[in-house]
Amino acid sequence: MYRLIKPIFFKFDPEKVHYFVVKRLKWFHDHFPLGQTLLRGSFDINIKGLEREVFGVKFKNPVGLAAGFDKNGEYIEALSDLGFGFIEVGTVTPLPQPGNDKPRMFRLEEDSAIINRMGFNNKGVDTLAERLRLLKSKNSDIVIGGNIGKNKNTPNEDAVSDYIKCFDRLFDVVDYFVVNVSSPNTPGLRALQEKEPLMELLNTLQQRNSKNSISRPILLKIAPDLTDEQLDDIVEIVLETGIAGVIATNTTIDRSSLSATEVVKNEAGGLSGKPLTVRSTEVIRYLSEKSGKAFPIIGVGGIHSPQDAIDKMEAGASLVQLYTGFIYEGPGIIKRICKELVKTA
């Protein structure tokens, strides 16, 4: 079915069609008679052997939805019915912000890729927190990650306060946190990946974490463009700060080996999709081997097939996330990945 409707979707602006589709999905889930039952019957995954516990959180299956797809947590229940084992919302910032000027998302169909420069467009952490509170009040068992960042106008020297605000506001309504310092679409943000500012940020969040009667796992999302020396620093930082793990990787600024036209591939922003498949797996393997598998890794970047997910897990990932592969391959990819993971278990 998706193969039939995908060419129609791809005739329209990527951002506009994204919201068109997810809004219809939510309407179908919420208002269509038996909509939820039909979605779960078609996509939900009831396969034994997929459950796992990672950084103290229990996941019904290891295939999640990456941050950026549902920034404001508006479509969590409907997306979960497609079979995702967990949903990561955000990136969210303390204050609402519109993001970068449109157009800001571009398909590279020849490369099965997307370039985006969204710029942390979101409705702010208060709106997200309230929405998640209502979801939790339903006794929802959906595992939710909160991906947090800083506002565009917040200088890097004050960035820690932005992350703290998001952390405090979401603490009671998410199952784990992701610190996003690796998006290429907020000016100066990637500078926070350098050792000194990153240590300060993560240590501060960990101190905040330890003041609560319970703590939440904190993960760091890193760029695929880091050198081996920088990845060595990441391993050291994770071990020294005691955070729960790493998400590898975010989008890339690399444009090598693309087939798309010069006009499209030179658009500013982060590249995701198949061109990232190999590099993200390399980063996972490097971190896993360098650390001696000392911490969990969530693998994301260029997963367009069950084999792509298996490769990431064999490289050292405990869980995987989809975004661009979900758009290009359709919701059926979740169940296909899970079926193959059971076979290789």
Give whole-number Cα distances, 305 to 16, 85, 114, 339, in Å: 26, 17, 17, 12
Q: Which amino acid is at 47?
A: I
Structure letter (DSSP) for residue 103: P
Active-site hit among 80, 183, 272, 280: 183
Q: How far apart are CA 44 and CA 86, in angstroms?
A: 12
| CA pseudo-torsion sign 191, 196, 200, 206 | positive
Q: What is the chain's length?
A: 345
Q: Phi and psi dihedrals of 61, rounded to 5?
A: -155, 160
- The CA-CA-CA angle for residues 236, 197, 68, to 5°, reads 90
Q: Which amino acid is at 139?
A: N
Which residue intervals of the chain are DSSP H helices? 2-9, 14-31, 35-43, 76-80, 125-137, 159-170, 195-210, 228-241, 262-265, 277-291, 306-315, 324-329, 332-344
> Does residue 291 carry a catalytic annotation?
no
C-beta separation of 85 from 44 below 8 A: no
Output helix, strand, coil percentages for the chain, rounded to the nearest 5.
45, 15, 40
Q: Phi and psi dihedrals of 13, rounded to 5?
A: -55, 130
As annotated, the active-site residues are: 183
